[in-house]
């Protein structure tokens, strides 16, 4: 089979892999964006015990490798009779990993809000919850948007790690195809182009967001 | 500009500082400070930077916690935060009550940049549930009209000049119907050409309301005009106080004379 016709024949399989990569990214990001909120709240709590808990969660996640964390979910959880599908393990692993970084991003945004905003809210006798929700959070989030977009991009590339827990995303699909055909150069070139086709335009959008919204 | 301020404001209440101390480490900011302000009185605090005059206002709002002493604002007592749980709860409740009575205008305006001018004015009253939404909205509109910014209701603070922002900030404080108004160097961050519009507005508020007012300012001509009493502070204590004519024209204390001379030299 010629290179061209072989390329066409494997393209659907690679695109299916890309689709899995995109799905895993979307689900993991949703998890991280949501879980980042309580972790950030722990981290900025006025109570020392909660703050220590927040720091502990973030430190453990940031100071151990992503791949190792995935293996914990994949091999350790079943020992406690928690059996999850590979994709769920992947999303859980990636999502919790990025939760730590996103919680810290939220915190940077929170700290970027000037003290005068808190004081103005206090002068209007707004309670702490309303001050956080209506005054601080909207201002804190704006400069985090480019950073979060950057993490989304990093996460998309990191989905390649999910191969290790048997998720057939783009990288995994490439590996299994090349193990059958040994057309490494062709397949890896195609894989690279597909990653590039997603990441390059996405990166341009992130740069645009940074210019428009500033960055923490 | 119209002479009167249309929306009715609350009547002034008394304020008293009793032996208030505030320290940062070894540095004493307020040194057993005591003074009383009667309802509706306008007191201007002057003094060199670091004299503690801004701290006086910030302690009333609880932005700085006092170390000892009592600040009585009407029926509200602002106390040191204290050690015991009951004491802390009492201090918090006192602070909330104080903030109910007191409105503050800041040097840096501190408008909420993500909210429209209208939302800046209504967010406080809405959450204190003192009136219906319609009433709050209507009152905010008439306040905006009064400060000459009715056409800017839907603008964002970033679209306004410094002077306009400060007028919105004043309207925002008034929307809470405070009995005491604090003005903390409210023209210091303004371009010289917009200082007049803000001072003019404060003058009108002073004329047409009976609120108690405490002002920290470097505008001595304005102080002389609006104040019932001028307090000159240095290093956390009151050096001299009295009617503006007395403090400005025939100061009794050498330190007051030196301060005023330095201002004259700078052409202020």
Q: Tell me the pLDDT tens digit for each residue of A104-117.
A: 999 999 999 999 99
Nearest Cα of chain B lies from the Cα of A111 at a distance, in angstroms, of 16
Q: Is B99 on the interface with A (CB under 8 A)?
A: yes
d(Cα B136, Cα B123) in Å, to the nearest integer? Answer: 9
- Which residues does A74 contact at the CB level (< 8 Å), separation at least 6? A86, A89, A93, A165
Judge whether B241 and B232 are in contact, CB under 8 Å: yes
d(Cα B104, Cα B121) in Å, to the nearest integer? Answer: 13
d(Cα B112, Cα B121) in Å, to the nearest integer? Answer: 10
Residues in chain B: 268
For residue B184 the two structure tokens come to: 């903390």
What pLDDT is stored for residue A216 in this prediction?
65
Asked if the Cβ–Cβ distance from A122 to B61 is below 8 Å, we say yes
State the best of A123, A127, A140 to mutate against chain B, taking most chain B CBs within 10 Å: A123
User: In which residue ranges of chain A is pLDDT below 50?
Assistant: none
Residues of chain B positioned with their CB less than 8 A from the CB of A119: 61, 63, 104, 106, 110
What pLDDT is stored for residue B140 in this prediction?
95
Angle between helices B53-61 and B85-101 (to 10 degrees): 110
Nearest Cα of chain B lies from the Cα of A138 at a distance, in angstroms, of 7
Which residue in B has a C-alpha nearest to residue A124's C-alpha?
B124
What pLDDT is stored for residue A44 in this prediction?
92
Mean of all residue pLDDT scores within chain B: 93
Number of other CB atoms surrounding residue B109 within 10 Å: 24
Asked if the Cβ–Cβ distance from A116 to B108 is below 8 Å, we say yes
Matching residue, tokens 């000049």:
B161
Residues of chain A positioned with their CB less than 8 A from the CB of B165: none
State the best of B109, B112, B173 to mutate against chain A, taking most chain A CBs within 10 Å: B112
Q: Is A127 on the interface with B (CB under 8 A)?
A: yes
Strands of the B212-216 sheet, one edge to the other: B102-105, B180-184, B212-216, B42-46, B229-234, B237-242
Give residue-wise pLDDT tens across range B192-202.
999 999 999 99
Residues of chain B positioned with their CB less than 8 A from the CB of A126: 123-124, 127
Q: Is B210 on the interface with A (CB under 8 A)?
A: no
Nearest to B99 among A114, A122, A134 (CB): A122
Judge whether B41 and B229 are in contact, CB under 8 Å: yes
d(Cα B177, Cα B192) in Å, to the nearest integer? Answer: 29
For residue A1 the two structure tokens come to: 């089979």
- CA–CA distances in Å: residue A188 to residues A38, A175, A210, B235: 40, 9, 32, 73
What pLDDT is stored for residue B6 in this prediction?
54
d(Cα A44, Cα B89) in Å, to the nearest integer? Answer: 22
d(Cα B30, Cα B51) in Å, to the nearest integer? Answer: 8
Sign of CA dihedral A69, A73, A77, A78: negative
- Report phi then psi at B70, rounded to 5: -135, 135
What pLDDT is stored for residue B4 in this prediction?
60
The fold for domain A3-211 equals MetI-like fold (1.10.3720)
User: In which residue ranges of chain B is pLDDT below 50?
Assistant: 1-2
Q: Is B119 on the interface with A (CB under 8 A)?
A: no
- Which residues does B133 contact at the CB level (< 8 Å), separation at least 6? B122, B126
Asked if the Cβ–Cβ distance from B113 to A139 is below 8 Å, we say yes
Judge whether A99 and A60 are in contact, CB under 8 Å: no
Sign of CA dihedral A144, A147, A148, A149: positive
Matching residue, tokens 């604090």:
B182
- Report phi then psi at B150, rounded to 5: -55, -35
Residues of chain A positioned with their CB less than 8 A from the CB of B103: 123
| Contacts across the A-B interface (CB distance below 8 Å) | 51
For residue B11 the two structure tokens come to: 């009547």
Q: Distance from first CA to last CA of chain A, Å, rounded? A: 52
């Amino acid at each position: 089979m010629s290179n061209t016709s072989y390329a066409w024949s494997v393209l659907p399989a690679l695109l299916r892999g890309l689709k899995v990569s995109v799905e895993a990214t979307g689900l993991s990001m949703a998890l991280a964006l949501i879980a980042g909120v309580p972790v950030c709240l722990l981290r900025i709590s006025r109570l020392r015990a909660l703050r220590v808990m927040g720091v502990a969660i973030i430190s453990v996640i940031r100071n151990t490798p992503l791949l190792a964390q995935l293996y914990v979910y994949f091999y350790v959880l079943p020992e406690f009779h928690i059996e999850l599908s590979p994709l769920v393990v992947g999303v859980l692993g990636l999502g919790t990993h990025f939760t730590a970084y996103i919680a810290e991003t939220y915190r940077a945004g929170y700290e970027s809000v000037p003290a005068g905003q808190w004081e103005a809210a206090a002068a209007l006798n707004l309670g702490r919850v309303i001050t956080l929700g209506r005054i601080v959070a909207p201002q804190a989030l704006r400069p985090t948007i480019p950073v979060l977009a950057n993490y989304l991009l990093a996460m998309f590339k990191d989905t390649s790690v999910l191969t290790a827990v048997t998720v057939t995303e783009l990288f995994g699909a490439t590996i299994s195809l090349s193990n059958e055909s040994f057309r490494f150069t062709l397949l890896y070139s195609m894989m690279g182009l597909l990653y590039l086709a997603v990441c390059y335009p996405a990166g341009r959008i992130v740069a645009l967001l940074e210019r428009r919204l500033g960055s923490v | 500009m119209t002479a009167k301020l249309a929306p009715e404001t609350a009547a002034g209440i008394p304020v008293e500082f009793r032996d208030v101390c505030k320290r940062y480490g070894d540095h004493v900011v307020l040194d057993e400070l005591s003074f009383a302000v009667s309802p509706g009185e306008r007191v201007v605090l002057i003094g060199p930077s670091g004299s503690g005059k801004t701290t006086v206002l910030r302690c009333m709002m609880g932005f700085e916690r006092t170390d000892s002493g009592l600040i009585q604002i009407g029926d509200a007592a602002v106390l040191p935060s204290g050690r015991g749980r009951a004491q802390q709860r009492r201090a918090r409740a006192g602070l909330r009550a104080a903030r109910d009575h007191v409105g503050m205008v800041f040097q840096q305006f501190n408008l909420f940049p993500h909210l429209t001018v209208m939302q800046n004015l209504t967010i406080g009253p809405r959450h204190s549930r003192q009136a219906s939404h319609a009433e709050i909205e209507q009152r905010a509109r008439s306040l905006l009209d009064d400060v000459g910014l009715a056409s800017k209701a839907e603008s964002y603070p970033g679209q306004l000049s410094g002077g306009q922002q400060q007028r919105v900030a004043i309207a925002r404080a008034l929307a809470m119907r405070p009995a005491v108004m604090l003005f903390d160097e409210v023209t210091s961050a303004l371009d010289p050409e917009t200082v007049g519009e803000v001072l003019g507005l404060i003058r009108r508020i002073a004329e047409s309301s009976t609120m108690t007012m405490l002002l920290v300012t470097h505008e001595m001509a304005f102080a002389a005009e609006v104040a019932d009493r001028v307090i000159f502070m240095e290093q956390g204590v009151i050096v001299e106080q009295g009617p503006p004519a007395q403090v400005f024209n025939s100061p009794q204390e050498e330190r007051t004379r030196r301060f005023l001379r330095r201002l004259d030299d700078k052409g202020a």
